[in-house]
Structure 1
Amino acid sequence: MTTVRTATIDDLDVLTELLDGYRQFYQQPSDVQAARDFLRQRFGQADSRILVSVNTEGTLTGFVQLYPGVSTVGLNSRWTLNDLFVSPDNREKGAGRALMEAATQLAREHGVARLVLMTQVDNECAQRLYESLGWQRNTAFYGYLLDVN
């Protein structure tokens, strides 16, 4: 049984390891200190919402991170679900689904009109999860990126 709760600064050590694993999943080099600093900044600035999954033994197994934003066209708020990660030894046990459902519920509770996310084209496992939860692939807009540094 997986439970989901809001992350706290007390979760920093384990959450740091999870974030570092998430970054490595996306072919970034391990940098535990940078991951820790990044999370400390998120907690300090309160500019994201982080939920964590916890297994029956009380171990953090994954996280989802949401960043608030707005839509000028929709005249409403939307959150970007920027990160979803479950540790490899805890996958296929319902933690990812529980995190996604909790993120959706949190958005509803805050009157958020839409959640948006992007995932790599070849991340088919994640795509299956998203689509099984009713997420729809955006075919109306192209995504663009510009590195400015």
Structure 2
Amino acid sequence: MISIVRATHERLDDLIPLVDGYRRFYRQPSDPDGARRFMEARFDKGDAYVLLALDDDRQAVGFGQLFPVPSTTSLSSRWILNDLFVMPDARRQGAGSALLEAARELARAHGIPQLMLRTQVENATAKARYHALGWQRDEAFDTYLLTVEGNVS
């Protein structure tokens, strides 16, 4: 049975392998020290909500990270589910769905009317899961990225 908890500084050692695995999934080099610094900054600044999926042995097998952003068009806030990852050997056991449902419940508890996420175009497995849980693909907007020279990390 998968359980979901809010991650804190105390669970940082459990979180780092997940964040590093997530980065490697997106073809970034392994950097556990960088992942630790990044996540410590999130906890120190309080600018993200981080959820951990725990298995029956209370081992962390997945995480989700939500960032609040204001929305001028809706005159409210929305949250971006910026990161969602489950360790490969723990997939298809409900951790991803549990994290998505926990994100929805956390948003509901905070009065947040809308969650957003992005995924890779070819990530059919994730897209099917999102659709099954009620997420709808945004057909109205495209995403554009601009690399600001001198600010590449």
| Structure 1: stretches of 5+ with no match in the other structure | none
In structure 1, C-alpha distance between the alignment counterparts of 2:78 and 2:8, rounded to whole Å: 23
Name the structure 2 match of 1:42.
Answer: 42
- Output aligned runs, 1:1-149, within 5 Å: 1-148=1-148, 149=151
Task: State the TM-score, normalized to the length of structure 1.
Answer: 0.98
| Offset of residue 87 of structure 1 | 0.6
In structure 2, C-alpha distance between the alignment counterparts of 1:89 and 1:142, rounded to whole Å: 33
In structure 2, C-alpha distance between the alignment counterparts of 1:68 and 1:28, rounded to whole Å: 25
In structure 2, C-alpha distance between the alignment counterparts of 1:8 and 1:70, rounded to whole Å: 24
| Structure 2: stretches of 5+ with no match in the other structure | none
In structure 1, C-alpha distance between the alignment counterparts of 2:46 and 2:29, rounded to whole Å: 26
In structure 2, C-alpha distance between the alignment counterparts of 1:128 and 1:10, rounded to whole Å: 34
In structure 1, C-alpha distance between the alignment counterparts of 2:13 and 2:77, rounded to whole Å: 31
In structure 1, C-alpha distance between the alignment counterparts of 2:8 and 2:141, rounded to whole Å: 36
Instruction: Give me the CA root mean square deviation.
Output: 0.6
| Offset of residue 52 of structure 1 | 0.4
Kindly tell me the number of residue pairs found equivalent between the two proteins. 149
In structure 2, C-alpha distance between the alignment counterparts of 1:42 and 1:76, rounded to whole Å: 22
In structure 1, C-alpha distance between the alignment counterparts of 2:132 and 2:104, rounded to whole Å: 14
| Offset of residue 147 of structure 1 | 1.1
Percent identity for Structure 1 against Structure 2: 52
Q: How far does the alpha carbon of each residue in 1:64-113 deviate from its partner, in whole angstroms, 9 at most, with x for none?
A: 00000111011111000000000111000000000000000000010001
- SS of alignment partner, residue 116 of structure 1: strand
In structure 1, C-alpha distance between the alignment counterparts of 2:127 and 2:46, rounded to whole Å: 29
In structure 2, C-alpha distance between the alignment counterparts of 1:8 and 1:48, rounded to whole Å: 11
In structure 1, C-alpha distance between the alignment counterparts of 2:37 and 2:109, rounded to whole Å: 29
- SS of alignment partner, residue 125 of structure 1: helix
